[in-house]
Amino acid sequence: MTLYDLRPNAPRRRARAAHDVLKGLAAAGLCVLAAEPGQVALAQPAIQPKLSLAPKKGHEITFSLRGLTSDIGPPRASLHYRVDNRDCTPMDYQRALGGVRLTQRYRLTASVQTAGEGRFVVRAWDDALVDEDYFGLGRCRWALESVTFSFASAQGARFVAAIAATDLRAEQALNLRYLISDLAAPAGSDPAIFGEAPGFYPDHKPQFTLTIAAKVLGGLE
C-alpha cells in the first residue's frame, strides 16, 4: 500500500475568524519559489526532500461524518511538514532588508481508507521525510505540522478540516460542524468551507458533523 504520494492540491479556505489559529497550517508544497527569468537567484532554492521507506512514528486518524443528507465524493488528505530548525537554511537577502531565514515547508498527499459508512482513516507519519543537510549548514529536521482532510458534495462544494500536529500527539478529539445548506452550493462558489466548533452556527440551522479522533502509532503494522 502506498503510504503517501506528491500531489499539489492544497485547499484554499473561507475567511472566518474561528480559524485564524490555523492560518498557515494548511500551507501547500514548498514555501520558497524559484526565481523568474531575469531575476537574481535567491539564496534559498527549492528543495526536494527524500521520503522515508520505513516511517516508525505516526498517528492513525479517524474521520467520521454524521448527518449528511447527500452523497459526497472520495475524501482526500494532505500531510503538511516544516523544517523546525531554520538555522540550517542560509540567510536570504533578496527576500527582506537585512536578510531572512525562511521556513521550508513541504506537503504530501496521504492515502484515505474507508472504514465503514461515513468513516475514513488516514495515517500521518512524523518521520515521513528524511532529515538532510541541504545547504551545508547542518541537518534540516522535518516535523509534521498539520493534517488536512477534504471532501466535496455532489454539487462540487468543497469542505475542509484541519488538525494541528499538537492535537494529534495529545490524541485530542475534535468535533466540527458544517451547514447542510452548504452541500447544495455550486462548485467554485467558495474556495473551501472549513468546519466550525459546536455553537458557532445557530441551532435552528441544520448541520452535519465531522468527528476527528487520533491515536499514536509506534510503527508500521
What's the distance, Cα to Cα, between the start and end of the chain in Å?
12
Average pLDDT, integer, range 14-23? 38
The CA–CA distances, whole Å, from 130 to 35, 105, 138, 140, 143 equal 26, 13, 14, 9, 10
Q: Kindly indicate the confidence band of residue 68, based on its pLDDT and cuts at 50, 70 and 90.
A: very high
Average pLDDT, integer, range 80-89? 93
Task: Give the pLDDT score at 191.
Answer: 80
Q: Kindly indicate the confidence band of residue 24, based on its pLDDT and cuts at 50, 70 and 90.
A: very low
Supply the DSSP string of 63-111, one letter for each residue: EEEES-SS-B---EEEEEEEES-GGGS--BTTTSTT-B-PPPEEEEEEP
In this predicted structure, the answer to whether residue 134 has a pLDDT above a threshold of 70 is yes
Q: Kindly indicate the confidence band of residue 45, based on its pLDDT and cuts at 50, 70 and 90.
A: low
Summarised one tens digit per residue, pLDDT across range 168-217 is 999 988 999 999 999 998 877 668 999 999 999 999 999 999 999 999 98
CA distance 66 to 46: 41
The distance between the two most distant Cα atoms of the chain, rounded to a whole number of Å, is 59
For the four alpha carbons of 43, 25, 165 and 99, in that order, the dihedral sign comes to positive
Indicate the range of 76-85, 117-126, 189-198, 206-215 predicted with least confidence. Answer: 189-198
In this predicted structure, the answer to whether residue 6 has a pLDDT above a threshold of 50 is no
In this predicted structure, the answer to whether residue 36 has a pLDDT above a threshold of 50 is no
Average pLDDT, integer, range 48-57? 92
Average pLDDT, integer, range 13-30? 35
In this predicted structure, the answer to whether residue 79 has a pLDDT above a threshold of 70 is yes
